[in-house]
Amino acid sequence: MSDKTLASLTAASPATGGLLYGTQGGADRKFTLSAAGAALIEATTPPGGIKALITSDYVILNPDQCRNGIIYAPANAGINLPAIEDGMSLTIIAVGAIYISLTPNGSDQILTDGVTAGTGGSITNNGLNGDKATLTYHSEGTWYASTNGWFPIV
């Protein structure tokens, strides 16, 4: 089967970007675009959640990517999270000795291994291959990050 577009692009906004559904290599794919228009993530939807590969240094995740999502980052990246909703969870994994910063929606916060970065505050990893953060819904307005040593950016 040749590659083709299956559906149209959704309306893009700075908070959510847009989605494009298509076929690549015979498999259904979901592509995320930023409001700036650059393709950022190519994602497949396997049973149990979304797996995605970051292909840009700045990414805005959409809510679907934060429902049992697994995000692989092979290069330095800044990742913006959507507003936290009950049931959200995702894991970010560094593939290489790279730095990743995670920034919540402006009115949310990330509680990292018990330490808060404050409302809208970002967290980052240690720049090591395999650095991992698993984020889950903690309470309204709060992500909980269980990590291997990530910390708030001061």
Q: Do the bridges between strand 67-73 and strand 100-103 make them parallel or antiparallel, or are there none, so unpaired? A: unpaired
pLDDT, tens digit, 9 for 90 and up, residues 31-78 = 554 444 334 444 444 445 667 777 788 889 999 899 999 999 999 999
User: Over 70: is that where the pLDDT of 142 sits?
Assistant: yes
DSSP letters, the chain, are ---EE-SPPPPPBTTTBEEEEEEETTEEEEEEE-TT--EEEEEE--TTS-EEEE-SSEEE--GGGGEEEEEEESS-EEEEPPPP-TT-EEEEEE-SS--EEEE--TT-EEEETTEE--TT--EE--S-TT-EEEEEEEETTEEEEEESS-EE--
Beta bridge partners of residue 52, listed in sequence order: 43, 71
Question: Is there a contact between 147 and 133 (Cβ–Cβ < 8 Å)?
Answer: yes
What's the confidence (pLDDT) of residue 52?
Answer: 75
Give domain limits for the chain. 4-152
pTM: 0.68
The token duo for 54 is 């970051």
